[in-house]
A and B are shown apart, each in its own frame.
Chain A
């Protein structure tokens, strides 16, 4: 069963969003879960992508992805009406949502996409939401309006100061942790390095912190173990044990190395793809 792209939009230079027909997943998915897609059957890679939103009535899911390699670039080249051959999911354990009190939600870059449905669910459960969204510059900031709607307080930071505060997300996070009373919980999703430093801060203030990890996966059902991370010194599988973990126990350094396992090969494949794409005159 193929999945038709109903609509597609560019959110920033390298970030795209699409609404895709996937009725079974749309009605089953819960915040925190993801899908694995492959564009074609024979040779395509399987990559995990977050479900940013879903509309069970229309039978569609919304995906957001960043163009970082060959597969995500191919995905970005697809247009409305095109089809994706394989989408499987929803995968991973849903977010544990309850009324914690005050929750600080920190999103970095593309991490805003998985963070949005979680924030919405937390808001619905009665939490006071303080959101911190970080981006390298104004152009790269995504989902600001959606977060504005669902947050009681919204703080934007950019690395270059082109929008919001000129700071890293860790700076306002520290200030919020210093408030009295301190937040009851933090949800942090973004690049591994950002999650690492955010967790160092929340740990100082003893604020329980949930992170959502996006590691390299093949099957997404526990079978391969390629997604494993060290949590509390023990190997855990992001696909079946996660994707959310206690951020204070995750070995981010090792995770970052594992994320780079195929960097050279992927780079080469992406370069080749771009070259090919120029030749056939897409750009």
Chain B
């Protein structure tokens, strides 16, 4: 369909919609709108964003596919309960500012979540349209629509209003998605909010972890700018636990409440032979060098080096594994293998990311995993010895357990291995905050309001949940901020008495 035909069709559909004559079966007939993407060959050589977003015509067409179900199953699928059908209705009406306002009632970072939320297992999984086609990929593309309205707003600075100063001080530890949301919500009611970030740049996993080609840094920076315009103070290079402890912040720094959103922390390794060889990276290190430190520009300005790999194996099946594999391609690797112990069906990565990885030529080796990593006389990686697996009985996670096949060893020659099998809790806060309660995995124990065992201290995101997503961290940041605001209101009242 040409652009003109598309516009004509949209006009007809809108006309019908306005008079209430657009039937569900006619809505089902509207084809799911594809989003333009950078060409797979071209994008192997750049770090620019892959998915390009909807033009207005496609966005409104896609929005018209929404049936406006009374029971709105999509909303139940959303971790922060965005009024999805209402914002989609606003898009149909061309009222984009209204659509954004509806999203922002529940989500502060729509430009981020529209890009990185796993919609296919959240709102789009429960979408009636997808269920009708028995294909979740045919659901209304809620995430793309969210991104559409969020991106339109990128130029119109909209800074949330801030209430009169309360005189209460809130410390936010970590400037990732949870910290950003908690900071904004605590600042809105008039608290004096300071974010402490360990790195020299703000944004947490959104700047060191998620690559530019999936989430441009400028989008994250804009959210940080909004916080600063609201009057939130941001202190970088400040390691809570080391520069000052949480107790010091409260006793000496005068902070009345603290939100801990420090993220996951230590990368897990497999515990196999050869994991300390030169050329073996944790995904965290590989991605941090490439993203935060811009190692892709090494020798062209950037001072942080990264392996110049020819053949790379990434171990794991999550989004971080996909990000690592796709980053390796962009850094010039000729061959990138993805080794995963289970099958594609069990992969925790988003379907879209798996699809993008395949398009970019990543070679998927499912039901395979390294048994040991082999080095040369200089301790440089030269190969991995792998085992083949088959799926057995379901395990605790409900996924079928991978069982190694005895004697199935085989060798892949390569020069770089990236381990992307998750993280364990960072011990820094635990080592330096004796009064805080942790579970046996080192995660902070909190109640349903994200309150910890220490008065005035709240926590959320990966340091509580183990491994979470941007949206879950955001959700907890919001819950914690509400609890902090409530706690401080009480505290102020009792001080006034």
Contact = CB atoms under 8 A, between A and B. Distances in A.
A164 B406 CA distance: 62
Contacts of B428: 221-222, 240
Nearest to B284: A224
A118 to B, nearest CB: 18
A137 interface: no
Interface stretch (B10-18, B156-164, B295-303, B474-482): B295-303
Given A24-B238, A224-B285, A258-B276, A43 B301 contact: yes
B242 A260 contact: no
Nearest to A258: B278
B304 A224 contact: no
Interface string A65-96: 00000110000000000000111111101000
Contact of A262 (B237, B266, B305): B305
Given A38-B200, A240-B266, A254-B276, A266 B297 contact: no
Interface string B218-255: 00000000000000000111110011100000000000
Interface stretch (B52-60, B108-116, B286-294): B286-294
B266 A43 contact: no
Interface residues of A, number: 49
A125 interface: no
Interface string A212-234: 00000011011111101110000
Given A25-B243, A224-B285, A70 B303 contact: yes
A269 interface: yes
A87 B199 CA distance: 10
Nearest to A273: B303
B439 interface: no
Interface string A259-270: 011100110110
Given A42-B294, A91-B242, A262-B305, A268 B278 contact: no
Contact of B282 (A88, A225, A258, A261): A225
B285 A222 contact: no
Interface in B207-226: 208
A28 interface: yes
A266 B305 contact: yes
A218 B303 contact: no
A124 B284 CA distance: 40
B265 interface: yes
Contacts of B46: none
B73 interface: no
Given A43-B294, A222-B428, A260-B278, A71 B303 contact: yes
Given A219-B199, A254-B276, A269 B303 contact: yes
Nearest to A260: B278
Contact of B239 (A38, A88, A260, A269): A88
Interface string B27-61: 00000000000000000000000000000000000
A86 B239 CA distance: 13
Interface in A235-267: 235, 237, 240, 251, 253-254, 257-258, 260-262, 265-266
B235 A235 contact: no
A223 B301 contact: no
B378 interface: yes
B275 interface: yes
B351 interface: no
Interface in B191-217: 198-201, 208
A278 interface: no
A1 interface: yes
Contacts of B243: 24-25, 28, 88-90
A257 B285 CA distance: 18
Contact of B305 (A89, A228, A253, A265): A265
B285 A218 contact: yes
A112 to B, nearest CB: 24
A41 interface: yes
Interface in B292-333: 293-294, 297-299, 301-305, 307-308
A88 B198 contact: yes
B154 interface: no
Given A43-B297, A88-B236, A226-B285, 18 more contacts: A1-B236, A28-B242, A33-B242, A41-B201, A42-B301, A43-B301, A44-B303, A46-B200, A218-B304, A219-B199, A221-B428, A222-B266, A223-B267, A224-B284, A257-B378, A261-B279, A265-B298, A266-B305
Interface of A: 1, 24-25, 28, 33, 38, 41-46, 70-71, 85-91, 93, 218-219, 221-226, 228-230, 235, 237, 240, 251, 253-254, 257-258, 260-262, 265-266, 268-269, 272
Which 7 interchain pairs have the tightest Cβ spacing?
Answer: A257-B379, A88-B237, A224-B285, A45-B303, A225-B282, A86-B200, A262-B305
17 contacts: A24-B243, A25-B243, A38-B200, A44-B303, A88-B199, A88-B239, A219-B198, A221-B426, A222-B265, A222-B428, A224-B285, A225-B284, A226-B282, A240-B431, A253-B379, A257-B380, A265-B308
